[in-house]
Amino acid sequence: MIRLTEKGLIAESSTTIVEFEGARVVSVKDARTGEAFLDRGLAADVPAFDLFHQVGKISPLGVHPLASHVHTTLLTGTIAELVLEDWECDVSIRVSVDEATGDIVVEPSAWTMQGGIAGLGLNIAGIREDLDVVGPFQQGARLPMAHPQMQGKQADWPNSWEAGFIVFQGKSSGFTIQTWDDHYIFKQVRIGHEKSPQTATFVTQAYGPLEQNRCVGNVAWRISAFQGDWTVPVKRYRDWYWRAYQLDKAAAMRPAWLDEIRLAVSWCPTHTGLLDALAQRVDPQSVFLHLPRWRLYKYDQDYPAYEVSEEGRAFITKARAMGFHTAPHANACQMNPDHPFFHQARDFCTRFPADIRWGGWSWLPVEGWGSFGPPQSYSQMPANKEWNILVNVHLAWSPWRRQLTRQVAGLMRDLGLDSMFVDVSQWIHNSDNAVLEGLTYAEGSLKLIRELAELAPGFCVAGEGRNEISTQYLSMVQFHLYNFAHVAAIDGQEVGWALDATLPVSEVLFKGLSRGIGYNYGKGVNRRAMVDATLKQGAIPTLIFQTRNPVAELDGEEAQYILSHV
């Protein structure tokens, strides 16, 4: 039911009450208990919406002293429209009650005469300080909004906001905001606002190019109260997710041996003696090996060339004969600009929609170097091979997908592979050329992984990170820790917070589709915290060797601790 008030409207379902004053959400309550989740005292001066511009400017909406008006229309007993007429743009907000689910559905859209519109943010302000944020960030995290590792967070779907929901959890109740969007519209969540740290902003993003873009919308945000713990709303999202993408069919494509894996080795060295040492400790058929250095070329150079070296062939041949599940390392979306195929691919690479910079990677041998994107100059882009310069190719561009699937099919025949690892598979993003061949980057990513999985029944496609797009056809994934804690651990910074923050949110979502291997680096106490956090995520116990003598390292304290969990 929706009823109009002097200041706005109130939408009420069997579970949830949401109140608007003007265009602002000022109250979210549990309809069964009356519990309020917003504190108006913490929401002062936060605008109803923010308009995001390509140049980085953020315009607050609904705050202009003269040129800001709201009109409210009740269309039916369960549908209403709020129209905000603002100096910067106009906003239409469709508010409806989903009686089947109890959700209050808020769908905003904005249009304006100015170009360069990048996004529209719905602000939920005044969230109670005792409510923790629970979100699918790097497999799952739970922290207070004001925690330094949560406050100021900006996470893009689906790369770092790995599924479209956030839970605000109290002692035994809370509320959730979800978007049941299966149209691959890019979006973002922001924790904290310049006007109030107890604010979450849900941003609908426009596809690039942005220079002439004047409108944004078509994402519906579902607000609902729940009773119990965070798993209640997460399971609701899982149910929608599995139905929307018909994931029972995808799950049936998984290898039969996936659930039998008890140990993984990530960044496994091509050391044949290591295979014998591992086999003395664990049945090879229950071990998954991620093998980065198996090609004729140096790591992260000469992509997309995938010719096997003599050393790589000897290792893979022995590993497969012994029963190890072995996944040679490839790259899902990046290539080196000195590769001959770059001449064809350069017009189909991705650029960030805000500044039109080329996307990609580089690794410079300079301590503290802060930018790992590729150079932007004509002189440096094709030079300095040793810097491992990589550029991102748009995965909706079919010739790139054909390159990888053709070569992987050949490797399967040549080496008897049952697995392949595709790096950077989590990097699904908006771009200046957002749509190619009629598909977004997200849809192209999904097609690539599915096309690899279809090369043989039960073929295991492994990758980096886990999100609701790539995981549909990835069977084994490399788990990052919250806020990419491995980077801090490698630098020697304290990372105990990562263990405290970790919550297996994504394991609830994706169990039955994929399993995870750890990404545990660091030394001493840091290393132990990383190992424990990855186990808490639900990852398979994972060895990562950090010396040139992995066989000897197997008898070390850290390896023994990991093996004790097998």
- 415 — phi, psi (to 5°)? -110, 0
Q: What is the pLDDT of residue 116?
A: 98
Residue 32 to residue 13: CA distance in whole angstroms: 10
Q: What is the pLDDT of residue 429?
A: 96
What's the one-letter identity of residue 527?
R
Taking the whole predicted model, whether its pTM rises above 0.95 is answered as yes
Residue 427 to residue 373: CA distance in whole angstroms: 13
Residue 272 to residue 311: CA distance in whole angstroms: 9
Beta bridge partners of 17: 12, 29
CA end-to-end span of the chain, whole Å?
A: 54
**Which two three-digit tokens encode residue 252?**
């049936």
Residue 41 to residue 35: CA distance in whole angstroms: 16
- How far, in Å, are 81, 181, 286, 445, 474 from residue 107 at the CA level? 10, 12, 48, 27, 32
**Which two three-digit tokens encode residue 104?**
């209050």
Average pLDDT over all residues of the chain: 96
Residue 81 to residue 4: CA distance in whole angstroms: 11
- 483 — phi, psi (to 5°)? 55, 30
Q: What is the pLDDT of residue 371?
A: 60
Q: What is the pLDDT of residue 370?
A: 58
Q: Identify the CA nearest to 375 among candidates 341, 385, 54, 211.
A: 385
**Which two three-digit tokens encode residue 73?**
């229309």
Q: Identify the CA nearest to 333 among candidates 283, 404, 277, 387.
A: 404
What's the one-letter identity of residue 162?
E
Q: Identify the CA nearest to 56 among candidates 217, 216, 221, 210.
A: 210
In SS3 terms, 240-261 reads as HHHHHCCHHHHHCCCCCCHHHC
Residue 312 to residue 309: CA distance in whole angstroms: 5
* Peptide bond just before 304 cis, omega within 30 deg: yes
Q: Where are the alpha helices (DSSP H) in 81-161?
A: none
Angle between helices 310-322 and 272-279 (to 10 degrees): 20
Residues written for the chain = 566
Residue 349 to residue 559: CA distance in whole angstroms: 41
- 282 by Cβ neighbours in 10 Å (0-12 / 13-18 / 19+) ranks as middle
Residue 230 to residue 504: CA distance in whole angstroms: 11
DSSP-derived secondary structure letter, 462? E
Q: List the strands of the sheet with 263-265, edge to edge.
A: 515-517, 476-478, 460-464, 419-423, 325-331, 287-291, 263-265, 542-543
pLDDT tens, position by position, for the chain (566 residues)? 999 999 999 999 999 999 999 999 999 999 999 999 999 999 989 999 999 999 999 999 999 889 999 999 999 999 999 999 999 999 999 999 999 999 999 999 999 999 999 999 999 999 999 999 999 999 999 999 999 999 999 999 999 999 999 999 999 999 999 999 999 999 999 999 999 999 999 999 999 999 999 999 999 999 999 999 999 999 999 999 999 999 999 999 999 999 999 999 999 999 999 999 999 999 999 999 999 999 999 999 999 999 999 999 999 999 999 999 999 999 999 999 999 999 999 999 999 999 999 999 998 877 766 567 899 999 998 888 989 999 999 999 999 999 999 999 999 999 999 999 999 999 999 999 999 999 999 999 999 999 999 999 999 999 999 999 999 999 999 999 999 998 888 888 899 999 999 999 999 999 999 999 998 888 888 889 999 999 999 999 999 999 999 999 999 999 999 999 99
**Mode of pairing for the β-strands spanning 435-436 and 221-227:** unpaired
What's the one-letter identity of residue 563?
L
Q: Where are the alpha helices (DSSP H) in 416-523?
A: 441-453, 485-490, 496-501, 505-510
Residue 338 to residue 333: CA distance in whole angstroms: 16
DSSP-derived secondary structure letter, 8? E
Residue 393 to residue 397: CA distance in whole angstroms: 8
Q: Identify the CA nearest to 268 among candidates 213, 326, 210, 216.
A: 326
Q: Identify the CA nearest to 254 among candidates 405, 454, 414, 417.
A: 454
Q: Identify the CA nearest to 326 among candidates 299, 292, 376.
A: 292
Q: Identify the CA nearest to 82 among candidates 18, 14, 8.
A: 8
Q: What is the pLDDT of residue 70?
A: 97
CB 84 within 8 A of CB 91: yes
- How far, in Å, are 4, 48, 50 from residue 21 at the CA level? 10, 9, 16
Residue 70 to residue 47: CA distance in whole angstroms: 13
